[in-house]
Structure 1
Amino acid sequence: MKLAKGCTLNLETQPLTLQTIKFVLGAISSSNDNVVACDCNRPTKIVRSWTRENPGRRFLSCRGHRVGSDFESCNFFRWYDVEKPHGWQNLALLEAWDTIREQKEEIANLREHVRSVNHVSENLEISSELMVSMKQKNEECEALKIEVLILKERSSVLRNVLVASSMGFAVVF
C-alpha cells in the first residue's frame, strides 16, 4: 500500500495491528499537506468514491463557493489515489458496501413497518374510543326510552284523571 511520499506499507508482511492503523492514518493525514487548487483557483477537498468500480478510492473535487443565493462549482475532478482499488481490500469494501446497503434497506423496511403498526394501533384506539362512545350513547338512548315510557304512563293517568274529573264535574252541574 502506497501512502505519502516515500511511505509504503506491505500488508502481507506487516500484521494489521492498532499501531499499523495509526501509522496509516498518520501518513494519510500528513499527506494532506499538499494542497491542490481547482480550476476556479480554490483549495480542493478530498472525497471518497463509493461506486462499484472505485470503492473507497479518493479523488480531489472543487469545494465550490456561494454566489448570492446560488452555489457554484467548477466541477474539478482528479484522482487522489493513483491506483484503482484491487485485491482483497477491494472485495472487502464491495462486500461491506453491499452489507451496509442491505442494512439500510432493512432499516427503511422496519421503519415503514413500525409506521404501519402505529397507524393500525391509532385506528384501533380510535375504534375503541368510538365503541365506548357508542355504548354510552346506547345507554343514554335506553334511559331516554324508559323515561318516555314513564312520561306516557303519567300522561295516560293524568288524561284519565282529567276525563274522570270533567265527567264528574259535568254530572254535578
Structure 2
Amino acid sequence: MLNCGSGFPCATRTSWTHDNPGRKFIACKFYNHETGQRGCNTFDWVDVDEPTNWQRDVINMLLAEKQRIATDNHILRSRLVCAENEKSRLSKEM
C-alpha cells in the first residue's frame, strides 16, 4: 500500500463533484471532502482516463434524479404524517 507524505497509508475514495462524478482517487487519509483540506498534498486519480462528457453528464443526471426522488419521498412522508394526524384529530372529535 502506498503511504502519503504524512507517512500513513493512503485512502482510496470516490469523487462526487460535478466535474469528476464517480472517479476513484487516492489521497492522504486525513483528506476532508467537505472542506477540501488535506493532511498532505498526496493525491492521484486511480483511473487513467477521465470520463467522457457523456459519462459525466449521465452520472450527474442520475445523481440529480436520485436527489429529486429523495426530496419527493420526504414530502410524501410529511404529507402522510399530516394526514394521520388529521385522521386522529377527526376521530377524537367524533
Query: Deviation of residue 93 (structure 1)?
Result: 1.0
Q: Give the residue type in structure 2 aligned to 1:74.
A: G
Pairs aligned (count): 86
Query: Matches of residues 29-40 of structure 1 in structure 2 within 5 Å?
Result: 35-40=1-6
Query: Deviation of residue 103 (structure 1)?
Result: 0.9
- Greater RCO between the two (CA within 8 Å, min separation 6)? 2
2:21 alignment partner, SS class: coil
Q: Normalized against structure 2, the TM-score is what?
A: 0.69
Q: In structure 1, what is the equivalent of residue 82 of structure 2? A: 116
Contact 1:59/1:77, CA 8 A, preserved across alignment: no
Q: Which residue of 86, 89, 104 maps to 2:55?
A: 89
Change (3 A) 1:83 1:77: farther
2:25 matches 1:59: yes
Note the residue ranges of structure 1 that are not aligned, 5 or more in a row. Answer: 1-34, 65-72, 129-173
Q: In structure 2, what is the equivalent of residue 46 of structure 1? A: 12
Instruction: Tell me the distance in 1 between the aligned counterparts of 2:71 and 2:49.
Output: 31
CA RMSD of aligned residues (A): 2.3
Change (3 A) 1:41 1:107: same
Note the residue ranges of structure 2 that are not aligned, 5 or more in a row. Answer: 31-37
Give % identity: 23
Q: Normalized against structure 1, the TM-score is what?
A: 0.42
The structure whose Rg is larger is 1
Query: Matches of residues 8-47 of structure 1 in structure 2 within 5 Å?
Result: 35-47=1-13
Moved segments of 4+, more than 6 Å: none
1:55 alignment partner, SS class: coil
